[in-house]
Chain A
Amino acid sequence: MARRRGIGMASVFYGTGYGNGFPDVSSAIVELHPSGKATVRTGAVDCGQGSSTVFAIIAAEVLGLQVSDITVTTGDTDNTPDTGTTAATRQTYNTGNAVRLAALDALRPLLDLVKPKLAVNTVDGLVVRGGAIEVRGWPGRKVTLAEAIAVAQAEGLTTMGQATFTAHTTALDPENGQGAPYWPYAFATHMAEVEVDTLTGMVEVLRVVAAHDVGRAINRAGVEGQIEGGVAQGLGYALLEEVQLDSGRIQNPNLAGYLVPTAMDMAVVESIIVEHPEPSGPFGAKGIGEPAILPVAPAILNAIFDAVGVRITDLPATPEKILQAIKLQEDRGIVK
């Protein structure tokens, strides 16, 4: 009797967006400059999770530029359009779509402008990449984006695009809960490997394998960062964190009494990005923010069961609860 290992599995789905027919609207503005660079303006606040980087990537992709060519300005009610909350795993999908459409909107007059010069019979014959507008299948014939923007501005054309995207959902029927309440759905499976000390009840999470269907990863390192953060927060939820109350008063309103995982508690995370593209998403993408935390706690609980044969149904799975459950099991004569 000492340390026992176990593996636990958990799968989840997650409906992204506000849902239930609520207006789920994002607007964005993309402005092109004669330098050949661009500014993206959206109300979407980057809370550290990386939405501004996602918008820069999407704009760069559409405009044939580098991420460093894009300036992203966000979250100012006087200077940026409303994009709804940074919540509900919706900014990559919702505002990402708006940014993609706004960038296309900004490009449209430029394509019309260079069409005769490049002697194509349709703008569909034009490709924007490498900082230039070029003829599809004949990459030698091109105009730099900077030049096209300068000419357009000299001719009095606007080089600013804007767009709005609304996610589709319906309200649930109040009597039977039937309807299409969210779209799209994200999917994930985590496998947690733990070691449980049967003398102390301590759980060490050794490893979490985390596979997420994100539709399409816009920023691969960003997706991995979200998964790792989700595992850390989920580990705290499973084993450590609890707001302790006495008559509605918070007993541990500080980080000495409210335990969040530290680097010492953290598991090794192996992120697996699964890409089943979502046709309505920008480049096939759907979000990753919230799904990252969902399977962590149940995977850890199932791993504890696999290790020592006790099922903890009351979070957090503290050493005290685990020891008590093991003892109860031994008293009943069941020893794993």
Chain B
Amino acid sequence: MKDQVVGSSPVKVDARDKATGATKYPGDLRVPGMLFGKLLYSPSAHAKIIGIGLADAWRVPGVRAVLTARDVPGHNGHGVIIPHQPVLAHDLVRSVNDVLVAVAADTLAAAEEALRKVKIELVELPAVFDATAAMAEGAPLIHPEGNILSHHKIRRGDMAEGWARAAVVVENTYRTQMVDHAFLQTEAALAEIEVGGTLVLHIATQYPHWDRKELSRALGMPEDMIRVVGGSVGGAFGGREDMTLQVQAALLAMRTGRPVKIVCTREESFHAHSKRHAMIMHYRTGATREGRLTAVEATIIGDTGAYASWGTNVLRKAAVHATGPYIVPNVKVDAYAVYTNNPFAGAMRGFGAAQPAVAYEGQMDEVARVLGLHPFAVRWQNAMTEGCTTATGQVLESSVGLRATMEKAGSLVGWDVSKIYG
């Protein structure tokens, strides 16, 4: 029986409200008695905190709460792999993502004024901003356990044989930059305490149930006393997986007993969420005279910034995807996630598989150029097909439509693909 609805193109269920402006995002929410929250980010990327003077901030009329690390009742840290990114920094700051002070006031202007009156005394520490330098012996340590967060290895086949069988070896280093998700809607949260003491947090997030776990850990409050309501989300792309202002908004609401809303400016948003890992990727690719791949060796270094976020998993994904969609008998991959004092990097659309594509597809074109072959022909003959084995030894049993995508895309730009691959 033919499907009735699957494969059609209905109007999106949220389209009408978004097109008319009826959709309420967390930043649009207003409730009686609501206070405005604001966060102070570190001006330094690596420094010891000597003192935080709050007296003048408290004197600003309309200020209801000024919080620092000592006001965090539970575990003062969050993070999807390692909960070590402070909710409010206590002894030192490791990046400009670190939040030092959270305030709540009757008006946004009063909250901003209070932040300007906070006196921060910092002593700069030796810092490292280059992932390769951070791996070297004697580099300033960002965390006591060392600057290498993770090292993933893929070993398949026999590299010596792979190079021996190669008629050509192409070697290049590729660099990709740090980028931001730049979603339309900046971070926003509204926290309120219900009668009975339940915390309700309205937040544009990718995962309300995870946010509840993080809130529970940092607030020292059981999960059944916390309700997270995922509001409408104006784009995420991986930038709403880590905590940004959830815990601070909740703390301010708990301290004041009043609803508290925090909305990031664009500048604050750039400091609040993760970034795409900048990567350095060194590749050696071997191929026969006919263009058949014999070996791929890749060393991938990802700058994960000052906190782990998803760094381990992102670089694991980079390693798994390092060969591209090709059958390669001999593979050696080393992928490192490395701490620096740069803004932290985490999930972003592609999650570590976006960067290696820049490298392995550059290599495929170079192999074609050196051998005088058509770029299509080199890709076609190495393409993964149903039943093939990947660099991790996985057999792809079903749904491998790669060659169909090559054929259709190539034909549409006028390449005579059947002639090219013979």
Chain A interfacial positions (CB closer than 8 Å to B): 7-15, 19-20, 43, 45-48, 50, 52-53, 56-58, 60-61, 64, 66-67, 70, 72, 74-78, 82-88, 127, 129-130, 172, 174-182, 184-185, 187-191, 193, 207, 209-213, 215-222, 230, 233, 236-237, 241-243, 245, 247-250, 253-255, 258, 260, 270, 272, 274-281, 283-284, 286, 289-290, 293-295, 297-299, 301-302, 305, 311, 313-316
16 A-B residue pairs with CB within 8 Å: A7-B413, A11-B325, A12-B324, A19-B320, A43-B209, A66-B5, A83-B209, A176-B156, A177-B391, A180-B392, A187-B402, A191-B410, A210-B409, A218-B6, A272-B405, A301-B362
Residues of the A chain whose Cβ atoms lie less than 8 Å from the Cβ of B222: none
Q: How far is the CB of B41 from chain A (nearest CB, A)?
A: 10
For residue A247, which residues in chain B have a CB less than 8 angstroms away from its CB?
Answer: 45, 127, 129
Given contacts A76-B208, A290-B349, A313-B172, contact A50 B152 (CB under 8 A): no
Residues in A with CB closer than 8 Å to B177 are: 241-243, 315-316
Binding site for A on B (CB under 8 A): 1, 3-10, 12-14, 43, 45-46, 95-96, 127, 129, 152-156, 172-180, 182, 205-210, 212, 226-231, 233-238, 240-241, 266-267, 269-271, 275, 313, 316-317, 319-321, 324-325, 333, 340-343, 347, 349-351, 353-354, 357-358, 360-362, 365-366, 375-376, 379, 383-384, 391-394, 396, 398-402, 404-406, 408-410, 412-413
Given A189-B410, A191-B409, A248-B343, do A43 and B394 touch, yes or no (CB 8 Å)?
A: no
Cβ-defined contact, A254 with B266, below 8 A: yes
> Other CB < 8 Å A-B pairs besides A253-B267, A295-B361, 9 of them?
A12-B321, A45-B230, A52-B12, A213-B405, A222-B9, A272-B405, A274-B404, A314-B175, A315-B175
- Cβ contact within 8 Å between A45 and B208: yes
Nearest Cβ on chain A to B363's Cβ, whole angstroms: 10
Known: A12-B325, A247-B45. A237 touches B207 (CB 8 A): no
User: Are A276 and B320 CB-contacts (below 8 A) given A48-B234, A87-B347?
Assistant: no
Complex: how many Å from CA A190 to CA B399? 19
Q: With A13-B384, A86-B206, A254-B270 as given contacts, are A211 and B174 in contact (CB-CB < 8 Å)?
A: no
Most buried by A among B176, B234, B366: B176
Contact between B398 and A11, CB atoms less than 8 A apart: no
Closest to A175 in B: B153
- Which chain A positions have C-beta within 8 A of B316? 19-20, 172, 181
Which of A19, A177, A289 gathers the greatest number of chain B CB atoms within 10 Å? A177
Known: A177-B153, A187-B384, A293-B350. A61 touches B405 (CB 8 A): no
A236 to B181, CA, bound (A): 11
A47 close to B233 (CB less than 8 A): yes
Q: Which residues of the partner chain B approach A15 to less than 8 Å between Cβ atoms?
A: 317, 320-321, 353
Evaluate whether A9 and B357 lie within 8 angstroms (CB atoms) in the complex, with A245-B178, A248-B342 already known: no
Pick the contact of A11: B4, B154, B233, B361 (CB < 8 A): B361
